[in-house]
Amino acid sequence: MSFQIPRGTQDILPEQAAKWQYIEQIARELCRRYNYQEIRTPIFEHTELFLRGVGDTTDIVQKEMYTFEDRGGRSLTLRPEGTAAVVRSFVENKMYGYPNQPVKLYYMGPMFRYERPQAGRFRQFVQFGVEALGSNDPAIDAEVIALAMDIYRSLGLKKLKLVINSLGDVESRKSHRQALIDHFQPRIHEFCDDCQARLHKNPMRILDCKKDRDHELMRTAPSILDYLNEQSRTYFEKVQMYLQKLGIAFEVDPRLVRGLDYYNHTAFEIMSEAEGFGAITTLCGGGRYNGLVQEIGGPETPGIGFALSIERLLAALEAEGISLPISEGIDCYVVALGEQAKEEAVALVAALRQEGVAAEKDYQDRKVKAQLKAADRLHATYVAILGEDELQKGVINVKHMATGEQQEVPLDIFVSHMKNVLK
């Protein structure tokens, strides 16, 4: 074996690719209905963008970035997530000046993180995500969540759990942060190393720790929800009200903390509850990021979005035993016998294709029997057999594979005949 695919990446072979196309099509169609428009940004950006946008205390920035220097000495990074780049483009192209606000965008493409691969985790993976920039209406939070749920439901997923939380605004977070430090500080030595490090860096993450999950201080820890100021609480309540109005079931989990620094107010996650799903159950994560646009150098602009991984979506479909309605099989396989017929078959196949018929022929110099077998393997609806006899009579033998019925069709009307029977 001379070459192999880089670690944590995968080839999407034709059979799988058909599923990808189907999912992409559903996602695009729903974006059309929700009026989100596609934006395509580069696969790499200046490293500085992610340091700023994602936050330099995050794991992503600290240990997961594919960073390299180009020949001009610039530090570039393969994008580890989509939001920073979309916001960069929003600012750079002055989209805050667009007449239609909020600006509603979606993107779909590969992201890169240098991590150890595992079930549902890759070094290159594809995210579909949306961003709504310029609105502070809790209804847009609900819309974004609804769009994510709609995508999953349209594909047939049932075993989903939507969890939401509010991280509050800057003021609320500050007071909650202090309350957490006061709560854990006296007994922090009873916690794991990670938690001890988190105490001052990001005490909220202690609540997320799985090792110390059962420590009594965890149960009694101050909840962010108790520290939301008036404005933040009202906002969160409205988001919930709208979700109810949309008939979307959810659970409030005050311990839900999103990994990226830029989140505030609404945070949410959609998980799969399917049996036998791997350890990583998060299908989609998102939230509000009101400070980010300014951080990237634009005017103060609120924003909310989510990102979901197509790989995990496929895994969820698999876990729920859902097969997508992928059409397979060609319309007509032209079987040729003899030199003259072979030459003729090339023209016939071309003519069929010209008229929109999916057609194939043999290129392996197979015998009739083997050509039929090949047609069968390709799930051809029809087979058209052309030999010496047919050429003599100016006809072609059209056989319906499922019924075995066969009829002679004059060569000059063959293509239109096929178009007819295939309707």
Partner RNA sequence: GCGGCUAUGGCGAAGUGGUUAACGCACCAGAUUGUGGCUCUGGCAUUCGUGGGUUCGAUUCCCACUAGUCGCCCCA
Please report how close the Cβ of residue 21 comes to RNA at its closest, in angstroms. Answer: 19
Interaction residues for RNA, span 328-357 (CB under 7 A): 337
Instruction: Determine, following the binding rule CB under 7 A, whether residue 368 of this chain makes contact with RNA.
Output: yes
From the list 79, 113, 173, 215, which residue makes contact with RNA (rule: CB under 7 A)? 113
Q: How many residues bind RNA (CB under 7 A)?
A: 70
Phi, psi of 234 (to 5 degrees): -60, -40
> How far is Cα 295 from Cα 87, in angstroms, rounded to an integer?
10
Q: Is 397 in the site for RNA (CB under 7 A)?
A: yes
Interface pick for RNA out of 90, 264, 309, 359 (rule CB under 7 A): 309
**What is the layout of strands, in order, in the sheet containing 44-46?**
44-46, 75-78, 66-69
Instruction: Choose the binding region for RNA from 34-42, 86-94, 161-169, 371-379 (rule: CB under 7 A).
Output: 371-379
Binding status of residue 279 toward RNA by CB under 7 A = yes
Helix, strand or coil, per DSSP, at residue 63: helix
Q: To the nearest whole angstrom, how small is the minimum distance from the Cβ of residue 158 to RNA?
A: 18
**Binding site per annotation, positions:** 81-83, 113, 127, 131, 258, 262-263
List 327, 402, 420, 423, residue binding RNA (CB under 7 A): 402
Choosing from 74, 94, 211, 245, the residue that interacts with RNA (CB under 7 A) is 211
Q: Does 377 bind RNA (CB under 7 A)?
A: yes
Residue 137 CB-half CA count within 13 A: 11
Tell me 271's DSSP state.
Answer: E
Q: Does 8 participate in binding RNA (rule CB under 7 A)?
A: yes
Element (H, E) at 161: strand 160-166
Residue 5 C-beta: closest distance to RNA, Å: 7
How many other CB atoms are found less than 10 A from the CB of residue 353?
A: 15
Does 147 bind RNA (CB under 7 A)? Our answer is: no
- Reduced to 3 states (helix: H, G, I; strand: E, B; else coil), residue 38 is strand
Segment near RNA (CB under 7 A), from 102-110, 133-141, 283-291, 321-329? 283-291
Shortest separation between residue 179's beta carbon and RNA, angstroms: 20
Q: Which positions from 66 to 105 touch RNA by CB under 7 A, shown as an x/- string?
A: ---------------x------------------------
CB-based contacts of 356: which residues, under 8 Å, 6+ apart?
419
Stretch that binds RNA, among 120-128, 242-250, 348-356, 413-421 (CB under 7 A): 120-128
φ/ψ of residue 260, rounded to 5: -85, 145
CA angle (30, 44, 297) in 5-degree steps: 85
In the complex, least distance from residue 285 CB atom to RNA, rounded to whole angstroms: 3
Nearest to 27 by CA among 313, 303, 242, 351: 313
User: Residue 287 in 3-state DSSP?
Assistant: strand
* Binding window for RNA (CB under 7 A); candidates: 149-157, 230-238, 281-289, 409-417: 281-289
- The tokens for 58 are 């995050």
What is the C-alpha to C-alpha distance for residues 414 and 37, in angstroms, rounded to an integer? Answer: 44
168, 263 Cβ separation under 8 angstroms: no
Q: Note whether 386 and 397 are within 8 A (CB).
A: yes
Q: What is the rounded distance in angstroms from the CA atom of residue 243 to the CA atom of residue 266?
A: 12
241 belongs to the binding site for RNA (CB under 7 A): no
Binding segment toward RNA, per CB under 7 A, in 224-232, 235-243, 348-356, 380-388:
380-388
Residue 118 binds RNA, judged by CB under 7 A: yes
Separation between Cα atoms, residue 242 and residue 138, nearest integer Å: 8
Bridge partners (DSSP) of residue 309 are 127
Residue ranges for the known binding site for L-histidine are: 81-83, 113, 127, 131, 258, 262-263
Which residues in this chain contact RNA in the complex, by CB under 7 A? 1, 4-9, 58-60, 81, 113, 115-122, 125, 127, 194, 205, 208-211, 257-260, 269, 278-285, 307-309, 311-312, 337, 366-370, 372-377, 383, 385, 387-390, 397, 399, 401-402, 404, 406
